[in-house]
Amino acid sequence: SQQGEEDPQALSIQEGENATMNCSYKTSINNLQWYRQNSGRGLVHLILIRSNEREKHSGRLRVTLDTSKKSSSLLITASRAADTASYFCATVGSEKLVFGKGTKLTVNP
């Protein structure tokens, strides 16, 4: 399966600190996407990185992709209490988006 697996499963940090979440997958991909899910809500797309890209930035988000290691990381800088949510990586091999189990991030004020 090309399902991504996030690490850690849960992360608790203080406001202002950086949060790093990792994702590993098993097969070749076209692109990798990160999504956020607040409790009881639908998922929201954060950022997409293509297989020929190594790093991408969007505001306080930084995503890296290492296709040789089949891994990606999501860095949230200067975290805020409002960043508390679950974060999912999702891989695209064909036209399907396959999600990992997610990392539950808690940012304490």
Please, which residue, 6 or 83, has the CB nearer to other proteins? 6
DSSP assigned state of 16: T
Please, which residue, 71 or 91, has the CB nearer to other proteins? 91
The CB-of-92 to other proteins minimum distance in angstroms stands at: 5
The CB-of-45 to other proteins minimum distance in angstroms stands at: 4
Q: Which of residues 25-84 bind other proteins (CB under 8 A)?
A: 30-31, 33, 35, 41-45, 48, 50
The CB-of-81 to other proteins minimum distance in angstroms stands at: 22
DSSP codes joined into one string, 23-81: EE-SS--SEEEEEEE-TTS-EEEEEEEETT-SEEEETTEEEEEETTTTEEEEEE-S--G
CB 45 within 8 A of CB 63: no
Question: Which residues are at the interface with other proteins (CB under 8 A)?
Answer: 30-31, 33, 35, 41-45, 48, 50, 88, 92-102
